Amino acid sequence: MRDVLWRPSAVPHGYRRVVGRLPAPRAVGPRTAKRRHRFDDAGVSILEFAGYLPILLIIGLAAIQLGLVGYAANQAGSGARAAARVASQGEGGGEAAGHAAMHDSLDATVSVGDGSGETTTATVTVQVPTLLPFVDTDWSVEKSATMPNDDPDAGG
């Protein structure tokens, strides 16, 4: 049987028979032993990140503040609908229902119309919470809702 020279990538599992000499290891001389320091782009990415970081933080805080404005508008709408619904039933307590429908931490003002006509209108004004305490903003969101008054004479 002939001795076959197997390439390392073509050696089947379990066969390690190699005929011939392996190449000699490379000599390590003074030129290859020292590593040359290259000052090309090392560390530039961290400087770019440090430069963009304040911009990214401001954009993130602005997005969160925009979300707080949307949250305040949502809560004002819910409070206005609840206040108008309760006040249109003629039982009173529309302001309390408007405050109960909103989160307790919001600074809100609920006002309900007299309801003398066919409809009752409730208006809620909510102060938008600010993310940064040193930013003095006086933002408020106002929502109103109108509900038809219940007719006590209707059978039901």
- CA separation, residue 144 to residues 67, 89, 128 (Å): 21, 17, 16
Average pLDDT, the chain: 80
**pLDDT higher at 79 or 89:** 79
Over 50: is that where the pLDDT of 156 sits?
no
How many C-beta atoms surround the C-beta of residue 65 within 10 A? 18
pTM over 0.75? The answer is: no
Mean pLDDT for 17-35 is: 59
Instruction: Report the percent of the chain where pLDDT is more than 70.
Output: 69
* Contact present, 116 and 105 (Cβ < 8 Å): no
pLDDT per residue over 38-88, tens digit each? 666 767 888 888 999 999 998 999 899 899 999 999 999 999 999 999 999
